[in-house]
Amino acid sequence: MKKHHRILSLILIAILLLSLTACGAKDTPASTPTPAATPGQSAQPAPPEGGDQPEAPASTRDTLNIAVTGDSGSINPKNPIWGDFGAIANMYAEKLWDVDNEGIKWILATGVDYISDVLWTIHLRENVYFSNGNPFTAEDVFFSWKEVDSGLFPWCPAANFPESKIIDDYTIELHLNNWDIGVMNSLSLYPMFDHSTYDALEYEFNPIGTGPYLLQTYVINSHVYLEANPNYWGNPPAIKNLKFYVNSEPAQRVTALQTGVVDVAAVPNSEVSFIESLPEYKTFLRNSSFATAVFFNLTSNSEMSNIDARYAVAYSVDREAIKTLVFDGLASIPTWACSNDVSDFDPRLEYPNELYRTGYDPELAKQYAEKAGLVDGQELRIVTDGTTENATIAEILQYNLGQIGIKAVINNYDAASFLSVIGDPTMSDIYIYVLGSPARTAATGLHGAINLSPVFLEGGWAGYDFFVDKVQEKISNIFDDNERMNLVLELNKYVSDDLLFYSFVTPQSAMVCNASLGGVEFIPSPGANTYYNEWYWIS
């Protein structure tokens, strides 16, 4: 059971991270996604056909060039697709719905009737066809749910797919095992496949989907070229060609923007002020309910199994330096285990112990280090996913540790290898990553952070039994806000005192676009999720 939950959540969270975080243009407050409806109500349906949607202005250019920060090694959205690379899949593999800044964005579904907490009716869009000409029906939905969940992990554990039923080609009766505060978000993640032709290997070269674009070329770690689907069910894209170029170097992305090689790119926070001084660009700052944190290996394979060692590391970290040097001040410092930007933040969550109140204290860190024996020549292994921000944070941590006499070595991996590395308790003592929740709640943030790390659940954490017995199956299923928060407060105290992880900062991140682009919106996602088919060239 422990192994099952470990793998389930590790991959689930990786994929969920592609979906939801509040976004907005600079100086425009980011809005919080609102649910489509509460149980017992019906969501408002989308227009029945794409032609009823607002028309975008005609494009004066036919190509959009986008720099993406990394390649996950796969374009099949059944697999984890990382960061801004994940927005590519939206263009050929559509979902039933998504969540944008206004709430539910209906795509292949037109609405959901909430009959009860555990019984929904999903209405599908008619007259939709896959790129091979096959019609999209309820059979494809059930196949896609089964295909995605065919591995060791379900993406939406609350959904009871075997008990659910096809009413007709465009109506589904969905049964849930239990009410789950994040189930709408989880169900929004499933890509839809053609049940009669889907082949996982073939999909990497010829993805069959219902989306507004078709794949032309995919070269791993190089580029992805897409071309408008002439038979798309909705409004045809205003921009015919999308060209994505993999570029992991922030400075190179800035240069590519300035020279016109790309029209869209993520830029480091240190360049935001400079970019904003250039009238030909528009900057979008994305606020996040995800925190960048250090996670500890609590197994017997690591020095971090000693709680004094974990406190030594935490007290040694200068979080203000991370905020300033890595994010150019465009970040906030959490006062509890996760981000303060969760939608249901409660002041009672703040300062669960003295660590979060005191923060950086090299002298106290050194006392803990000596008590744990960390100054006797042991070498700590710090692991990152290779992104510039996390690699720089690791360097700051390495320096801080060196100041109190602790040696540390940094190993930066590519995004595709990172999950395997942190899943092996023999390969690291510390890793730098993000923690948070697509549902943007305190409950699911803590729950996800615990399940995210495979080294919490197999020895080393005294609170594991408490987590399984009182939290694992309950924390997201409690409909009453006060009751759920009381459990969150108790769990927050557990994970903070035992120090499973330590949040550094909640960063903002910046996307820069050519100012001649219209229709630009980055919907809630730390990976710059967007729908490029709704973009257009103004001039």
Query: Which residue numbers in the chain have pLDDT < 70?
Result: 1-60, 80-83, 151-153, 180-181, 437-439, 451-460, 470, 472-479, 524-527
Q: What is the pLDDT of residue 8?
A: 33
Q: What is the pLDDT of residue 477?
A: 62
Task: Give the predicted TM-score (pTM) of the model.
Answer: 0.69
In angstroms, the CA 111 to CA 403 distance is: 57
Tell me how far CA of residue 333 lies from CA of 220, 291, 337, 342, 350, in angstroms. 36, 9, 11, 13, 12
Tell me how far CA of residue 531 lies from CA of 84, 90, 264, 274, 364, in angstroms. 12, 7, 13, 27, 49
Q: What is the pLDDT of residue 52?
A: 45
Which has the closest alpha carbon to 313: 500, 154, 531, 64?
500
DSSP-H helix ranges across 196-276: 200-203, 250-258, 272-276
pLDDT tens digits for range 149-205: 886 567 787 789 999 999 999 999 999 987 766 788 889 889 999 999 999 999 988
Q: What is the pLDDT of residue 83?
A: 65
Q: What is the pLDDT of residue 24?
A: 35
pLDDT tens digits for range 191-242: 999 999 999 999 988 999 999 999 999 998 899 999 999 999 999 999 999 9
Q: What is the pLDDT of residue 238?
A: 95
Structural domains in the chain, sorted by start: 20-281+511-537 (3.40.190.10), 291-507 (3.10.105.10)
